[in-house]
């Protein structure tokens, strides 16, 4: 959504179906670093203002370090842990991602996906 990536329109349509957007707090780092490279800081801050975040705590680190499947990369595992916790709590209905590793992890844990094409 920050860049004109493929599927941006579809992503906006999917996000429009939900009252709240959630992510791991690590999105703040990922999105702002991308925004700085692309000189889009204001747009990133506007997006981040619309997102509710799960914090990265000691418990997050412990769970994520042991999280299955092991093929999921570290940063994606942090997002996956947040998705698992939010889904189990009934806070989210699905995960929106392009990332194949995160898709695999969500599938492993039975979390529904929105995967824009």
Q: Are 71 and 64 in contact (CB under 8 A)?
A: no
35, 41 Cβ separation under 8 angstroms:
yes
Which domains does the chain show, CATH number per domain? 8-114 (3.40.50.1010)
Q: Looking at residue 9, what is its pLDDT?
A: 74
Cα separation, 108 vs 93, in Å, equals: 16
21-79 tens-digit pLDDT: 899 999 999 999 999 999 999 989 998 998 999 999 999 999 999 999 999 999 999 99
In the predicted model, is pLDDT for residue 4 greater than 70?
A: no
Is 14:116 a contact under the CB 8 Å cutoff? yes
- Residue-wise DSSP of 93-116: S-EE---HHHHHHHHHTT--EE--
Give the pLDDT confidence score for residue 3 in this predicted structure: 54
Under DSSP, is residue 21 helix (H, G, I), strand (E, B) or coil? Answer: strand
**CA–CA separation, 40 and 54 (whole Å):** 24
pLDDT of residue 66: 97
Residue 21: per-residue pLDDT: 86
The whole-number pLDDT of residue 6 equals 67
Q: How close are the terminal C-alpha atoms of the chain, in Å?
A: 14
pLDDT the model gives residue 14: 73
Which band of pLDDT confidence, cut at 50, 70 and 90, is reported for residue 2? low
């Amino acid at each position: 959504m920050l860049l004109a990536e493929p599927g941006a329109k579809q992503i906006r349509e999917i996000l429009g179906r939900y009252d709240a957007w959630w992510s791991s707090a690590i999105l703040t780092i990922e999105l702002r670093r991308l925004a700085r490279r692309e000189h889009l800081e204001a747009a990133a801050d506007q997006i981040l203002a619309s997102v509710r975040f799960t914090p990265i705590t000691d418990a997050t680190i412990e769970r994520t370090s042991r999280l299955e499947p092991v093929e999921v990369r570290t940063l994606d595992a942090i997002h996956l842990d947040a998705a698992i916790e939010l889904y189990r709590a009934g806070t989210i209905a699905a995960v929106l991602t392009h990332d194949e590793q995160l898709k695999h992890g969500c599938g492993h844990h039975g979390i529904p996906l929105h995967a824009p094409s």
